[in-house]
């Protein structure tokens, strides 16, 4: 009877190891140019951040890309980047698939989240390990810490066309 108990214990330990591996999260690598976020940024990056901050409090609206009626996560990106003279694709996955990827996010870069190789959410890196994003239905554009486990677990990478 000791053998079945040992097998059950080993099976349980194996399951726990697999689950522990699935719950791992990665660090989101960032690079802030100086003591203040505005230092060392191109004018385009400064405009992206400024315009994204103007959207704070805007209601979430699926498919929305207007600060008057609401935005979704990729709509927020479109609005902020367009104000800096940069056009980006419409959806977070299209943005993730087409924009140049970065090893480290700099202020104004995009941060992508999802699973596998499909992005389902995007935010704009502000600096100081914070991003601005439109989190979802019933919520408003807000600022979140990148040190939240959820973001680390679903992080895909950083990208962006801004110089």
CB 119 within 8 A of CB 61: no
Ordered domains of the chain (ranges, CATH): 27-159 (3.90.1720.10)
Q: Residue 157 — pLDDT band, cuts 50, 70, 90? A: very high
- DSSP state, 109? -
| % helix, strand, coil for the chain, step of 5 | 35, 25, 40
Average pLDDT, the chain: 87
Alpha-carbon gap, residue 84 to 100, rounded angstroms: 17
CB 58 within 8 A of CB 67: yes
Per-residue model confidence (pLDDT) at position 8: 52
Q: Is the pTM of this model over 0.85?
A: no
Per-residue model confidence (pLDDT) at position 14: 42
Per-residue model confidence (pLDDT) at position 18: 37
Judge whether residue 84 has pLDDT over 90.
yes
């Amino acid at each position: 009877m000791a053998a079945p108990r040992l097998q059950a214990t080993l099976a349980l330990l194996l399951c726990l190891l697999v689950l522990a591996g699935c719950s791992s999260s990665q660090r989101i690598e960032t690079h802030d140019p100086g003591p203040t976020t505005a230092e060392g940024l191109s004018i385009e990056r400064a405009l992206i951040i400024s315009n994204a901050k103007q959207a704070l409090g805007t209601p979430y609206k699926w498919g929305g890309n207007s600060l008057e009626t609401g935005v979704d996560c990729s709509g927020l990106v479109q609005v902020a980047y367009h104000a800096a003279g940069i056009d980006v694709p419409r959806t977070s996955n299209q943005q993730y698939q087409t924009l140049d990827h970065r090893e480290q996010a700099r202020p104004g870069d995009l941060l992508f989240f999802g699973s596998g190789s499909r992005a389902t959410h995007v935010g704009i890196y502000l600096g100081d390990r914070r991003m601005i994003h439109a989190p979802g239905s019933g919520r408003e554009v807000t600022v979140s810490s990148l040190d939240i486990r959820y973001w680390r677990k679903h992080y895909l990478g950083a990208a962006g066309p801004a110089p």
